[in-house]
């Protein structure tokens, strides 16, 4: 399979706590992206980190990328009940045409009020 | 802008029936793709297109056909539905945006297909 792997598969935390999700992938990449999916809906883009970047922030989101280990992590700080969703990492492999993303299996996050 | 529009939202088929899942985008994106999502499997690429008249296979193309006659539309055809094709199908589009490798995929809301 070309897919990367994410862990944990499921994560349950209390509101206000931080949530960390990890992603590993197999090939050299142009960039790595994180998406969010609310139940029954399409995926929404959260953040993109390029292969020459090591860390990126967007609001309460912090993404790190370690290309030597082919891994990334997504940190959501001060989580809210509204953050309950599935989170997917996706890689845009080097030499691919833009837009041909390979997705991980996702992490299901549950934030309890 | 409507973005990426998929129809229908739900569909039930009997084994052996055929149908077409519709996908349209209004962002003038050259690249469009179809994914299927199954529990525990994430999203897997079925077919993709880099422009009108050009299509290629993804990771799981068997049982599906596509064509791209216009930039806006990218229909997915199931010629003879099988229970293994029960899934949620997502269409996505992509354009270079601000920088060639800096742009995300835009997804439709999905079609939930059940084959009995």
Backbone phi and psi for residue A84, each to the nearest 5 degrees, phi listed first: -60, 120
pLDDT single digits (tens) A20-32:
999 999 989 889 9
Residue among A44, A48, A106 minimizing CB distance to B42: A106
DSSP code at position B75? -
Mean pLDDT of B87-91: 97
Subunit contact A88:B44, Cβ cutoff 8 A: no
Candidate from A33-42, A63-72, B85-94 with smallest mean pLDDT:
A33-42
Q: What is the pLDDT of residue B100?
A: 61
B110 dihedral zone (left: phi>0; alpha: psi -120 to 50; beta): left
Number of neighbours of residue B112 by Cβ within 10 angstroms: 16
Residue among B45, B103, B109 minimizing CB distance to A42: B109
Number of neighbours of residue B29 by Cβ within 10 angstroms: 22
Q: What is the pLDDT of residue A99?
A: 73
Number of neighbours of residue A102 by Cβ within 10 angstroms: 24
CA B8 to chain centre: 12
What does the block give as tokens for B63? 């049982």
Mean pLDDT of A96-113: 87
Q: What is the pLDDT of residue A2?
A: 53
Mean pLDDT of A63-75: 97
pLDDT single digits (tens) B14-42:
999 999 999 999 999 999 999 999 987 78
Residue of B47, B74, B94, B101 to mutate, interface with A, max A Cβ within 10 Å? B101
Contacts of A1 in chain B (CB under 8 A): 59
Distance CA(A72)–CA(B116), nearest Å, equals 39
Interface A–B counts its CB contacts (< 8 A) at: 74
Q: What is the pLDDT of residue A5?
A: 85
Distance CA(B103)–CA(B116), nearest Å, equals 38
Contacts of B110 in chain A (CB under 8 A): 40-42
Residue A41: pLDDT over 90: no
Residue B98: pLDDT over 70: no
Q: Compute the nearest-CA separation of A59 from chain B (Å).
A: 18
pLDDT band at A92, cuts 50/70/90? confident
Report the mean per-residue pLDDT for chain A.
Answer: 91
pLDDT single digits (tens) B35-83:
999 987 789 999 999 999 999 999 999 999 999 999 999 999 999 999 9
Q: What is the pLDDT of residue B104?
A: 86
Residue (of B4, B36, B1) closest to B106 by Cα position: B4
Residue (of A37, A28, A31, A38) closest to A52 by Cα position: A31
Residue B107 sits at the vertex; the CA angle it makes with B101 and B113, to the nearest 5 degrees, is 140
Residue A95: pLDDT over 80: no
Residue A105, judged by CB atoms within 10 A of its CB (0-12, 13-18, 19+), counts as buried
Q: What is the pLDDT of residue A81?
A: 96
């Amino acid at each position: 399979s070309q897919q990367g792997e994410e862990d944990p598969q499921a994560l349950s935390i209390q509101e206000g706590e931080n949530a960390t999700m990890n992603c590993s992938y197999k090939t050299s990449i142009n960039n790595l992206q994180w998406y969010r999916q609310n139940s029954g809906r399409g995926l929404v883009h959260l953040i993109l980190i390029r292969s020459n970047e090591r860390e990126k922030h967007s609001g309460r989101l912090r993404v790190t990328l370690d290309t030597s280990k082919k891994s990334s992590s997504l940190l959501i700080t001060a989580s809210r009940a509204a953050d309950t969703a599935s989170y997917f990492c996706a890689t845009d492999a080097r030499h691919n045409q833009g837009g041909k993303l390979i997705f991980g299996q996702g992490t299901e996050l549950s934030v309890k009020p | 802008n409507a973005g990426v529009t998929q129809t229908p939202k739900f569909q039930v088929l009997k084994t052996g029936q055929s149908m077409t899942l519709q996908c349209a985008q209004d962002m003038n994106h050259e690249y469009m793709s179809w994914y299927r999502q199954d529990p525990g499997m994430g999203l897997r690429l079925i077919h993709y297109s880099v422009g009108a008249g050009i299509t290629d296979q993804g990771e799981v193309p068997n049982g599906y056909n596509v064509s791209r006659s216009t930039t806006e539309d990218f229909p997915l055809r199931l010629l003879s539905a099988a229970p293994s094709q029960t899934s949620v199908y997502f269409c996505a589009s992509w354009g270079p945006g601000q920088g060639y490798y800096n742009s995300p995929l835009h997804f439709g809301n999905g079609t939930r297909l059940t084959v009995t």
